[in-house]
Structure 1
Amino acid sequence: MQLFNNMTLSGGPAYLKYLLFVFNLVFVITGIALLSIGAVVQGLYYQYYHFLDDKYLSAPALLIAIGAIILIVCFLGCCGAIKENHCMIISFSVVLAIIFIMELSGGIAGYVLRNDAADVLRRKLNETADHYVDKSDVTAMWDYLQTELQCCGVGNFTDWEHVFKNDSLPLSCCARLPGMTGIQNCTVESTTSHVYTVGCIQALGNFVRDHAAVIGGSGIGIAFIQVSYHK
């Protein structure tokens, strides 16, 4: 930023214009990276929206917004270089500083969410499990969760006893057995080889924490890459 404050493009050597184009290219790449990471994590989180607070969906949405803003700002920066407009360059530098702060905020939010995941998920899983029988959307979400992450119940498969009031289990709790086609019915009394023994609080918690770490690492990492390049 100081480079552009001390010298206008029109009064400085021609290489400054090309330097700004290269600088913009780096920011375009980081903008696309943030937008892509945010979109992928948002899509993955949305599959389990019943079990997540809105703040978990807003964190990747922030990365998407930052990525889109970076692309727009870089376009304006290129226009400023072409027109050799000193005012546009200064505005460009100020906006980049704001983007840096937003990236740090998104990164920090990712790590905060990562640490809060266990408590949030435990509450949401317990709330929704009670409605497994009477709400079709909750049923579908739990079946998807247990099938995809190969887990059963909140802490373990015995959690379903108070829901069904017997030894029944959702079909999605039943493990696929080698040499058998389809999924066989299972119950609380089944051997552990027939039932997923990992609780969904553990499986989904690991899933959320891993992707929250990606949000935190990408936000903070890219922010410092941009600063290092700028220096």
Structure 2
Amino acid sequence: MAQINICLKRIFTVFNIFFMVVGAVVILLALWCQFFMDNRGGHNLEGRTTQLFFFYMVGCIILMIAVLGAYGAHKESKVALIMFLVFMVIGSLLMLIIGIPAAIIHPQLKGIMEKTFSGFVPLDKSSEDVRNMAEGIQEKFHCCGLFSYKDWENIPDSCVCSQEEKEGKCQTVENNTFMLQRKSVYTKTCFPTIMDYIQFHYNIILVISFTLAVLALLGMILSSIMIHQLYYPNRPTIVVSMMPPKYEELHNTLAY
């Protein structure tokens, strides 16, 4: 005989199907990122292996927890539902640990990034990875330098405007190394573009963290109710009545 309310079981099943979809999306996103980087020659693949592994791991964990919850509800297994509840508690705590500090830092994010990127100037003397990153951004977004073209002691070709560029997007400057050499470089700097990119992904992290925390809390509530029903299958529902007891009604009638 079923001990869990059928309506609650269906809600919990839909909840776990949604979790399965989330896990599958995370895994597909990691596959897409790996495929995208492979097509670009795998330049930054080694540095992002840990990030890709993290995405794969998170997606697989979400899938396994969803399957565990669905199995526990279908078979009415106390062990499976208790394990699911423990995972939901841990997951909600982890999401809050990530989300709350991120929300606190959010107003200060621009200042932190400015201080961090200022440490890369002059770009010529930075590491090879930083120089390659800067030149790649300059070529793609038609900008020059992080905060100014003066961030380069020797302005690279990625800063140079093409002859087809419209007026107003370029400026003529003197190369810092060869004072007699003049170059037409992009007027726009790269830091605002980088900051927009960071802000966008930072907001995604915030939304995902708090959304998963709320979903984990919902999973905790649903699994806790089902576990309670399994341990106390015949416990009557307590109903608070505002009607007076019968003996009080009889007493009041006799008094009049």
TM class by shorter chain equals 0.5 to 0.7
Deviation by residue 1:28-74 (Cα, 9 ceiling, x = unmatched): 23344566678889999xx999xxxx9xx97x987765443222111
Secondary structure, aligned partner of 1:152: coil
- Provide the residue aligned with 1:122 in structure 2: 114
- Provide the residue aligned with 1:87 in structure 2: 79
Aligned residues: 202
Opposite residue 200 of structure 2, the aligned amino acid is: D
Secondary structure, aligned partner of 2:173: coil
Opposite residue 215 of structure 1, the aligned amino acid is: I
Secondary structure, aligned partner of 1:195: strand
Asked whether 1:200 is paired with 2:190, we answer yes
Q: Output the TM-score relative to the length of structure 2.
A: 0.59
Segments of structure 1 that go 5 or more residues without pairing to the other structure are 1-8, 181-185
Call closer, same or farther: CA 1:134–1:79 in 2, change over 3 Å.
closer
1:120 Cα deviation (Å)?
Answer: 4.3
- Provide the residue aligned with 2:158 in structure 1: 172
Opposite residue 203 of structure 1, the aligned amino acid is: T
Separation in structure 1 between the aligned mates of residue 196 and residue 44 of structure 2, nearest angstrom: 13
- Aligned equivalent of 2:201, options 188, 197, 211: 211
Does structure 1 retain, via aligned residues, the 8 Å contact 2:88–2:217?
Answer: no
5 Å-filtered alignment, 1:67-146, equals 67-112=59-104, 114-130=106-122, 132=124, 136-146=128-138
Separation in structure 2 between the aligned mates of residue 64 and residue 218 of structure 1, nearest angstrom: 16
Separation in structure 2 between the aligned mates of residue 206 and residue 48 of structure 1, nearest angstrom: 21
Which one has the bigger helix percentage? 1
- Provide the residue aligned with 1:155 in structure 2: 147
Opposite residue 170 of structure 1, the aligned amino acid is: P
Higher gyration radius (CA): 2
1:102 Cα deviation (Å)?
Answer: 1.9
1:92 Cα deviation (Å)?
Answer: 0.8
1:208 Cα deviation (Å)?
Answer: 0.6
1:105 Cα deviation (Å)?
Answer: 2.8
Does structure 2 retain, via aligned residues, the 8 Å contact 1:27–1:226?
Answer: no
1:101 Cα deviation (Å)?
Answer: 2.2
Separation in structure 2 between the aligned mates of residue 117 and residue 40 of structure 1, nearest angstrom: 28
Does structure 1 retain, via aligned residues, the 8 Å contact 2:148–2:189?
Answer: yes
1:218 Cα deviation (Å)?
Answer: 2.0
Secondary structure, aligned partner of 1:188: strand
Q: Output the TM-score relative to the length of structure 1.
A: 0.64
- Provide the residue aligned with 2:211 in structure 1: 221
Separation in structure 1 between the aligned mates of residue 142 and residue 2 of structure 2, nearest angstrom: 63
Call closer, same or farther: CA 1:119–1:15 in 2, change over 3 Å.
closer
Call closer, same or farther: CA 1:221–1:41 in 2, change over 3 Å.
farther
Segments of structure 2 that go 5 or more residues without pairing to the other structure are 38-42, 176-182, 223-256
Call closer, same or farther: CA 1:151–1:174 in 2, change over 3 Å.
same
The root-mean-square deviation of aligned C-alpha atoms, in Å, is 4.3
Does structure 2 retain, via aligned residues, the 8 Å contact 1:132–1:138?
Answer: no
Secondary structure, aligned partner of 1:11: coil
Separation in structure 1 between the aligned mates of residue 132 and residue 161 of structure 2, nearest angstrom: 17
Secondary structure, aligned partner of 1:128: coil
Call closer, same or farther: CA 1:170–1:179 in 2, change over 3 Å.
closer
- Provide the residue aligned with 1:23 in structure 2: 15
Q: What is the percent sequence identity of the aligned residues? A: 23
